[in-house]
Chain A
Amino acid sequence: MGRYLIRRVLFGVLVLFVISMLTFLIFMKLPAGDPARRLAGRQPTPEILDQIRENYGLNDSFLTQYWRFARGLIPLPGFFLNEEIYYSWANRQAVKGEIAEAFQYTAVLTAGAVVLWLAIGIPIGILSALKRRSIADRAAMTFALVGVSFPTFWLGYLLIFAFYYKLGWAPPTGVEIGDGPIETALKGKYLLAWITLAVTSAAFYTRVVRGNMLETLSEDYIRTARAKGLSDRRVTYKHAFRASVTPVVTMLGLDMAGLLAGAVITEQVFVLPGLGRYAIRALEGQDFPPVMAVTLLAALFIVVANLVVDVIYAALDPRVRYT
């Protein structure tokens, strides 16, 4: 297991390196417009543009520029997202601080959505598996089909229209002046966003749990357990559920990592100042340091999540062993 972990970590570093290089390449070599022009005032003379390129090192060689940013990704004090390089070109604020602040809003969004979709998806999936071909099963599958079919942005706006504009039950979108993520959540401003994210994921998890449960329930050891006289309840929840939830753990880890990197569409729809919205703003402004930082952060979440779920998988399923 130790050797396996070391290999996985090294591979993860390689993945992050490739992503950083690709991000840099895309931004610097395939930009939609001249970054220097974006940084200039409203009369960008050739002299001013030249000066901006000088100020931001945009005239340096590709590798020199890349290494300048890559150094800031080394996870050591003094290097990681250092303020000399990783500051927003738009407002000169340290990217580290801005990401830390935005991450809080994304974390609350993710946590709430995860709780909701697990609370919905797993029970419905179990019920559907146990009551196969019943009305409950068909209703659950309809929910699953409809849920995964909803585009997130469409569902979000639909919920806002229904519950805010028409019914007046939900508060307006956006964060109140002076509120942090917790205050925002307590004012109910996350609720529709949680539902938006949860519906799609819950639908998907319903199908996965149902499928796994059905497969597990048909296993020989389940039949043996029943033959031994164990109750249905014990068979279902102690034996079948544990085996069928293992893939869910894998999915959950990756889904959470993906959301923590910024639920871009949901944050845009509900005007939540999380990582996704921060990334969009940076992209629109061709503000490279935040773009690089958020992209690598997102990649890091996925890489780490992959590793963690693999370890958990081995813990849950004794048949799985890594060498």
Chain B
Amino acid sequence: MKRYLRFAVVAAVLAVVAAACGGNTTSPTGTGTDTGDPTDIPRGGTLTIAHTQDFFNGLDPTQEYYSVSWEFLRCCMARTLLSYTGRPADEGGGVPQPDLATALPTVSEDQLTWTFTIKPGVMFGSPLGREIEAQDFANAIQRLSDPKINSESYPFYYTAISGFSDAKGKPVEGMVVVDAKTLEVRLDQPEPDIPYLFSLAASAPLPQELLDTHYDAVELGQFLVSSGPYEWEGMDQIALSDKEPPSGMDIEKSYVLVRNPFYDQATDDLRQSYVDRIEVTSYAGEVQELLDKVDAGAIDWCVDCLATSATLKLYQGDPELQQRLIIHPSDALAYTGLNVFEAPFDDVHVRKAVNWALDKQALWILAGGPPAGTVAGHFVPSGMMGGLNVDYNPYETPNNEGDIEAAKAEMALSKYDTDGDGVCDAEECTFDALTVTGDNDAIKALQIAQESYAPLGITLNIKAINYNALVDKCSTLVGHTPYCQAGWGKDYPSPYTFFFPLLDAGANGSNYSFMGATADDLTAAGYSGFETDAAGLGSPNITADIVACRQIAIGPDQDACWAALDAKVMEEIAPLIPRRFPNDIDVLGARIVNYEYDQFAGIGAIDHIAVSP
């Protein structure tokens, strides 16, 4: 299941309707303590993890585009030039720190050259056991440029690097190896997110010895030479020329990580790596069974199990068990996308009217109430904007139940309300609302929306279709779909990874508003009557605003710019209806005595987990 589907599921299908959920705290709780004194926390032992959704690409760092995979790579196997501490945002967990680089990169005055210095003495794991060098990072970007490898990945973030788009698997001219420990990243245009981009797994160093023997997609992951504290069990028993993967790598079944004998903790300020061994198993069964196993101590953690109502009821009702229930705000959003070029949402007043009308409280209760997150009043999770806009909600209504009078007042300004009575008169106000077959909670959510919009004269024809067909209809201009429920989570801790994919990337497949689409694309897809700006983009769009924010260095000033853009999006354009900021919920086994939430990956930080002896 794709990441965005995972978040859509979190947004719409957290099946919690337990009475015990009402009114309980949503503040994060910890288990054990990270006392700040690591010597108090036991080291050693085996951590057993299960997951219901396997890694998508065998933990191939170039290809993996999934938060759980990213956590395994970050914690354990793929250090990067910069990385994260594996802590919550309010403890600095959202800011990239030097990892394989000695310090944050220096940047030239023209913003076109970023220079990294590689830490000495950091070694690749078995079977290589050699020092990591600048060329290994250039290899990674070279492989990322290969269209035969990168189609499931995120190469579009790196196109500012000189020669990246043309390299197609050959050396990228913008990745300059000055010497063994100095890497220059040369750009065609300024890219302020370079620190973020070189904290992503695709930028992790790849030794040439591995590329020469196991270059292909997914296959590389099975033989991944670790740069982190752990490696596949059995890597010390194979040669890279072997055809059979190490014993600890049984793709789609089980994975075993053991300590990397060449890892030096002294070179790593970010990771704790308490356990000696990590066993991960794929499980295709009922989630409740897995959670029962966690409760019984048979496994320590199900990394992607959505807590069921039964489990939440059990854990929240028991003070001791409550310590093992971790509820933490994630950097995600459940929302409804509005196609700003498709009637009736080509009229901003209709978009604003539905924002006023929607009963978000009912949707929140449907999703499970307090454990499921908080009602969203704006677009980007506040934690990603330095805590700004946390109480900002331009469509705030009593108890979040919607304000039909305000909605009608807005609708009366719309071209689709010819007599100004606040009720849409046009047939365009009856349209299909699509959801996935079998997703009962999503259907109920649409029914709630239908009831909310009915006084406005808006009628949703709720249709359940195959997931792949739904994605096609919602994410292509030719689908002419005006209204789509969706969810989204960040790629890295910058609001850019919300604004660009969802509101600026034209028809890139995740943008259900289609803002940023060119006039030519719109015309080709059969749209007409839309406005066009000087850049040839359909209007409205926020392309220039995004560019402006990205020209500000990462920090409070940039946060303020994003927050202002967040407000502009909500108040002036309203291309979506934010519904809920979901929480991440982890249920931990009794053996776990230390846990931290990794804000970057949005799950527990595996390297911070310690188990009792």
Residues of A that sit less than 8 Å from B by CB: 31-34, 37-49, 51-52, 54-55, 91-93, 172-175, 177-178, 271, 273, 277, 284, 286
Give chain B residues whose Cβ lies under 8 Å from the Cβ of A177: 50, 254, 281, 283
Stretch at the interface among B23-31, B78-86, B463-471: B463-471
B468 to A37, Cβ gap below 8 A? Answer: yes
* The residue from B151, B284, B509 contacting A174, defined by CB atoms under 8 A apart: B284
A172 to B286, Cβ gap below 8 A? Answer: yes
B156 to A43, Cβ gap below 8 A? Answer: yes
Give chain A residues whose Cβ lies under 8 Å from the Cβ of B156: 43, 45, 47-48
How far is B468's CA from A55's CA once the two chains are assembled, in angstroms? 20
For B499-525 the 0/1 string (1 means CB < 8 A from A) is 001000101111000000000000000
Q: Flag whether B319 is at the interface (Cβ < 8 A).
A: no
A271 to B251, Cβ gap below 8 A? Answer: no
A91 to B58, Cβ gap below 8 A? Answer: yes
Who on chain B is nearest to A281 by CB? B284
* The residue from B57, B153, B508 contacting A46, defined by CB atoms under 8 A apart: B508
B468 to A286, Cβ gap below 8 A? Answer: yes
Q: Flag whether B198 is at the interface (Cβ < 8 A).
A: no
How far is B466's CA from A38's CA once the two chains are assembled, in angstroms? 12
> When A and B form their complex, which 7 residue pairs have the shortest distance between CB atoms, in order from nearest?
A33-B468, A174-B285, A44-B509, A92-B218, A41-B65, A32-B466, A51-B147
Give chain A residues whose Cβ lies under 8 Å from the Cβ of B65: 41-42
A92 to B217, Cβ gap below 8 A? Answer: yes
B466 to A55, Cβ gap below 8 A? Answer: no
Who on chain A is nearest to B502 by CB? A43
What is the number of residues of chain B that contact chain A, defined by CB distance less than 8 Å? Answer: 46
Contacts of B274-309 to chain A: CB distance below 8 A: 281, 283-286, 289
A55 to B283, Cβ gap below 8 A? Answer: no
B567 CB to closest chain A CB (Å) equals: 25
Who on chain A is nearest to B157 by CB? A43
B509 to A38, Cβ gap below 8 A? Answer: no
Q: A46-B507, A51-B147 are in contact. List 14 more A-B contacts (CB 8 A).
A: A31-B468, A32-B465, A33-B472, A41-B153, A43-B510, A44-B508, A44-B509, A45-B509, A55-B147, A91-B218, A92-B216, A93-B218, A174-B283, A174-B285
How far is B54's CA from A91's CA once the two chains are assembled, in angstroms? 10
Give chain A residues whose Cβ lies under 8 Å from the Cβ of B501: 43
Give chain B residues whose Cβ lies under 8 Å from the Cβ of A174: 283-286, 289
B468 to A45, Cβ gap below 8 A? Answer: no
Who on chain A is nearest to B156 by CB? A45
Who on chain A is nearest to B279 by CB? A177
Best-surrounded residue of A38, A42, A92, A277 (most CB of chain B within 10 A): A42
Q: Flag whether B148 is at the interface (Cβ < 8 A).
A: yes
* The residue from B50, B151, B254, B505 contacting A40, defined by CB atoms under 8 A apart: B151
* The residue from A49, A51, A92 contacting B219, defined by CB atoms under 8 A apart: A92
Give chain A residues whose Cβ lies under 8 Å from the Cβ of B209: none
State whether A43 and B508 are in contact (beta carbons under 8 Å apart), knowing that A32-B469, A172-B289 are contacts in the complex. Answer: yes
How far is B290's CA from A271's CA once the two chains are assembled, in angstroms? 13
A55 to B151, Cβ gap below 8 A? Answer: yes
Who on chain A is nearest to B54 by CB? A91
Who on chain B is nearest to A34 by CB? B472
User: How many contacting A-B pairs (Cβ < 8 A)?
Assistant: 111
B604 CB to closest chain A CB (Å) equals: 20
* The residue from B150, B507, B510 contacting A42, defined by CB atoms under 8 A apart: B510
Give chain A residues whose Cβ lies under 8 Å from the Cβ of B216: 92
B64 CB to closest chain A CB (Å) equals: 9
Q: Flag whether B2 is at the interface (Cβ < 8 A).
A: yes
For B375-405 the 0/1 string (1 means CB < 8 A from A) is 0000000000000000000000000000000
Q: Flag whether B113 is at the interface (Cβ < 8 A).
A: no
How far is B284's CA from A51's CA once the two chains are assembled, in angstroms? 32
Who on chain B is nearest to A273 by CB? B284
State whether A40 and B466 are in contact (beta carbons under 8 Å apart), knowing that A91-B58, A177-B50 are contacts in the complex. Answer: no
State whether A45 and B505 are in contact (beta carbons under 8 Å apart), knowing that A37-B472, A38-B468, A93-B252 are contacts in the complex. Answer: yes
Q: Flag whether B475 is at the interface (Cβ < 8 A).
A: yes
How far is B154's CA from A32's CA once the two chains are assembled, in angstroms? 25
A172 to B58, Cβ gap below 8 A? Answer: no
How far is B153's CA from A273's CA once the two chains are assembled, in angstroms? 29
How far is B148's CA from A33's CA once the two chains are assembled, in angstroms? 22
Give chain B residues whose Cβ lies under 8 Å from the Cβ of A39: 151-152
A180 CB to closest chain B CB (Å) equals: 11
Q: Flag whether B4 is at the interface (Cβ < 8 A).
A: yes
How far is B285's CA from A277's CA once the two chains are assembled, in angstroms? 12
State whether A271 and B284 are in contact (beta carbons under 8 Å apart), knowing that A41-B152, A51-B147 are contacts in the complex. Answer: yes
A266 CB to closest chain B CB (Å) equals: 15
Who on chain B is nearest to A31 by CB? B468
Who on chain A is nearest to B470 by CB? A33
Contacts of B134-160 to chain A: CB distance below 8 A: 147-148, 150-156
How far is B147's CA from A18's CA once the two chains are assembled, in angstroms? 35
Give chain A residues whose Cβ lies under 8 Å from the Cβ of B54: 91
Give chain A residues whose Cβ lies under 8 Å from the Cβ of B284: 174-175, 271, 273, 277
A149 CB to closest chain B CB (Å) equals: 25
State whether A42 and B4 are in contact (beta carbons under 8 Å apart), knowing that A91-B54, A172-B285, A172-B286 are contacts in the complex. Answer: yes
What are 22 A-to-B residue pairs whose CB atoms are below 8 Å? A33-B470, A33-B472, A34-B472, A37-B472, A37-B475, A40-B509, A41-B152, A41-B154, A42-B4, A44-B475, A55-B148, A55-B151, A91-B56, A172-B286, A173-B289, A174-B286, A177-B50, A177-B283, A178-B281, A271-B284, A273-B284, A284-B467
Q: Flag whether B3 is at the interface (Cβ < 8 A).
A: yes
Best-surrounded residue of A37, A43, A177 (most CB of chain B within 10 A): A43
Give chain B residues whose Cβ lies under 8 Å from the Cβ of A38: 468, 471
Best-surrounded residue of B54, B152, B254, B289 (most CB of chain A within 10 A): B152
B286 to A173, Cβ gap below 8 A? Answer: yes
How far is B508's CA from A200's CA once the two chains are assembled, in angstroms? 49
Give chain B residues whose Cβ lies under 8 Å from the Cβ of A37: 468, 471-472, 475, 509
A173 to B285, Cβ gap below 8 A? Answer: yes
How far is B57's CA from A92's CA once the two chains are assembled, in angstroms? 8
Give chain A residues whose Cβ lies under 8 Å from the Cβ of B218: 91-93
* The residue from B148, B286, B471, B472 contacting A271, defined by CB atoms under 8 A apart: B286
How far is B218's CA from A28's CA once the two chains are assembled, in angstroms? 25
B466 to A92, Cβ gap below 8 A? Answer: no
B91 CB to closest chain A CB (Å) equals: 28
Who on chain B is nearest to A45 by CB? B508
How far is B290's CA from A172's CA once the two chains are assembled, in angstroms? 11
Contacts of B1-54 to chain A: CB distance below 8 A: 2-4, 50, 54
How far is B509's CA from A46's CA once the two chains are assembled, in angstroms? 8
B495 CB to closest chain A CB (Å) equals: 16
How far is B284's CA from A284's CA once the two chains are assembled, in angstroms? 15
Give chain B residues whose Cβ lies under 8 Å from the Cβ of A93: 218, 251-252
How far is B251's CA from A41's CA once the two chains are assembled, in angstroms? 20
Best-surrounded residue of B156, B283, B285 (most CB of chain A within 10 A): B285
Give chain B residues whose Cβ lies under 8 Å from the Cβ of A55: 147-148, 151
Who on chain B is nearest to A54 by CB? B147
B541 CB to closest chain A CB (Å) equals: 17
Who on chain A is nearest to B468 by CB? A33
For B246-288 the 0/1 string (1 means CB < 8 A from A) is 0000011010000000000000000000000000010111100
A143 CB to closest chain B CB (Å) equals: 31
Who on chain B is nearest to A172 by CB? B289
Who on chain B is nearest to A51 by CB? B147
Who on chain A is nearest to B2 by CB? A42
A233 CB to closest chain B CB (Å) equals: 49
How far is B150's CA from A54's CA once the two chains are assembled, in angstroms? 13
